[in-house]
Amino acid sequence: MSFRKISAHKIYPISSSPIENGVIIIDENGKIIALDVLDKHDATTVEFFNGVIVPGFINAHCHLELSHLQGVAQTGTGLIDFISQVIKNRDHSQEIIQDAIAREENNMLQSGIVAIGDISNTTDTFSQKRKAHLHYYTFVEYFDLFQVQNTANTIEQYDAVFNALLETDKNKKSKVPHAPYSVSKKLFQHIIARSNEVDSYLPKTISIHNQETMAENELFLHKKGGFIDFYERIGFTTEAIPNIGQSAIHYALNFLNKADRNLFVHNTLSTKEDIARAQQQLGADHTFWATCPNANLYIENSLPNYNNFIANNSQVCIGTDSLTSNWQLNILEEMKTILKYQSYLSFETVLTWATLNGAKALGFEDVLGSIQVGKTPGLVLIENMENNILMANSVSRKIV
């Protein structure tokens, strides 16, 4: 068996302290055999890269099937108008859709992403996923917009999508609720109960969009606001929407299961109290918070207060959302945005969010997320950093 020795100015294993001029020894399959330092090796046997080496990135939240919709939604309009634009412009030919999916998967692969928590409302990405270029956790998303008379049809529609995807070592799947503002009590109960029955492994991951906009909290606090207007405008009844007098996350907490890994996505308006309540009820070890900062800026022109997560010692991970709500699907660009606008956070903290925390959220931590002996995490080179600081021209690329 052949081995490679790979080195750089600094290596960030994540699971241990950074190594100056370290050496990573890998086998022909990319498995980590050992970690060492450069001065113990003949330099002619080592591949040296200018920059820092980190484990492969985890994109904890993506909508790969929407890759053909880049630029169709205007920026800064708010979530409700954004949803309307996506619905209006979603349909295209399969040729266009498939070309965009393959292109963007390759772009993510080359930039250093090794696993994706991917939302699916259709089967459009499934043929690409079967090629196993990346690890995927596919979340088949169910929503009935509180139209309980249509809930049975909704279940049938998305069960067909769920059943069309084969599970493999590189492709996990779960049935998941879309968001508090779009899933009735009846559908919520069905998703959680049925997902426990059909999934072949436990714990599984349940992803849910959470607290992206003021209108979402207002819906459950007072049963009024932008979502009520939206439903009435499209001719939908609002009778099944509960007025619980609490923020939106509390509605979801009525149904989520402590035995699962629960992945809340966006969390732009999540307070310290919201976060603490979720972690207390679901268990801090099984609760994850995916942030998609560029999408938050694209849609609502706002970002979460990351101090709320730091205060709760929360497990934060990073996603890109879709090309409908982002300029690119690139985790390094998300890291840059976080560190630009909330610079009290360190590079190492945000790097852990982008790697090990995402791997844990998706259940891939046994093989991905950190540079440890026995893992096959992929290796990523980050170039053009200065004094451990990401610069505007910093770039990442896959080297293993």
Cα 261 to Cα 70, 272, 359, distances in angstroms:
31, 20, 12
For the stretch 247-300, pLDDT in tens is 999 999 999 999 999 999 999 999 999 999 999 999 999 999 999 999 999 999
Structure tokens at 162: 């769920």
Q: How far apart are CA 258 and CA 378, in angstroms?
A: 31
pLDDT reported for residue 86? 75
Share of the chain above pLDDT 90, in %: 87
CA 130, CA 108: separation in Å to the nearest integer?
Answer: 16
**pLDDT of 200 above 70:** no
Cα of first residue to Cα of last residue in the chain, in angstroms, is: 17
Residue partners of 50: CB distance under 8 A and separation at least 6: 8, 9, 383
pLDDT of residue 381: 98
Q: Is 3.20.20.140 the CATH number for 57-368?
A: yes
Say whether 42 sits in a helix, a strand or coil.
coil
pTM above 0.85, yes or no: yes
Could you report the per-residue pLDDT of 363-387, keeping only the tens digit for each? 999 999 999 999 999 999 999 999 8
* pLDDT mean over 146-175: 95
- pLDDT over threshold 60, residue 240: yes
Where does the chain hold its CATH 3.20.20.140 domain(s)? 57-368
pLDDT number for residue 243: 94
pLDDT above 70: percentage of residues in the chain: 97
Which residues neighbour 150 within 8 Å (Cβ) at sequence distance 6 or greater?
144
pLDDT digits (tens, 9 = 90+) for 52-109: 999 999 999 999 999 999 887 788 888 878 877 776 666 779 999 999 999 999 999 9
Concatenated DSSP letters for 293-323?
A: HHHHHHHTS----THHHHHTT-EEEE--B-T
**Cα–Cα distances in Å, from 387 out to 9, 16, 43, 141, 179?**
11, 19, 24, 42, 40
Average pLDDT over residues 20-34: 96
Q: Count the neighbouring beta carbons within 10 Å of the beta carbon of residue 346.
A: 12
H/E segment holding residue 128: helix 126-129
Cross-strand partners of 214? none
